[in-house]
Amino acid sequence: MKVNKVVDNGVMTVTVDGEINTVTTPQLAKEVEELGGIRYLVFDLNNVRYVSSAGLRLFLNCQRIMESSNGDMLIKNCDVLVEETFASVGYHHIMNVKAKEAF
């Protein structure tokens, strides 16, 4: 999994390439460890084939951190099956998850 992180004027954009599974999630977690001063966190999952429960848990943690700091979070460019994974555990109600077509 490759992760590209860009921080610009309080906006952190994390572009992920690969699979967010049990093994790779800790690597992604390290990239978003420090969210101080971030108002808007964007995950670009255009090249992500799937997200496992470990990945979902990480997104939930990030969402909570952002909410506590009055920030916002967006997960964009999701594959239709990845979006369905978010929906299957009800996360589409608490997170801003956008499919590829919808963005």
Partner 1 sequence: MIDQNSKLIRKILINCAITFIVINLADSLTMIADGIIISKGLGAEALAATGLADPSYKIVSLFTGILASGMQFLCAQAMSSGDRKKVNGIFSAGMTVAVSVAVVLTALFFCFTDTLCALFGAKADTSVYGHLYDYLRGWFTGIPGFILFFVFSPLVTLDGNKKLLTAATIIQGAINIGGDFLSVFVLEAGTYGVGLSTGISFNISAVILLLNFIRKCSVFKPFSEKPDFDMLPKTFSHGLPRLTEQFSRTLAPIIINRTVIAVGGSLAMSAVSVKSSIMGFCFIIGNGVAESVGLMVQILYSEKDEELIKKTVKAGIRLLIILEIFFSAVMFLLAGPISLLYFSAGTEEWSMAVFVVRCLSASLLLNGCNLIIIQFLQGSGNILSVHIMTSFHRMIALTVFTILFGSLFGTYGLFIAIPVAEAAVLIGYIIVSRLLNRYVKFWNAMLRIPDGFGYNNENSCSFSITTIEEAVEVSEKIESFFEEHGVDKRTSYFSGRCMEELAGNVIEHGFTKDDKKHMCDIRVMIDDDGVVMRIRDDCKYFDIRERYESLSADEIESGIGIRIVYEHAKEVKYVNVFNTNTLIIKM
- Residue from 12, 16, 64, 61 nearest 39 by CA: 12
Quote the least distance from Cβ 10 to partner 1, whole Å: 27
| CA pair distance 100, 48, nearest whole angstrom | 11
Widest distance between CA atoms in the chain: 34
Cα three-residue angle 90-41-91, rounded to 5 degrees: 0
Site for partner 1 in 41-80 (CB under 8 A): 50, 52-54, 56-57, 60
Site map for partner 1, 77-96, x if CB under 8 A?
----x---x--xxxx--x--
Quote the least distance from Cβ 79 to partner 1, whole Å: 10
Question: Can you give the binding site for partner 1, defined by CB under 8 A?
Answer: 21-23, 50, 52-54, 56-57, 60, 81, 85, 88-91, 94
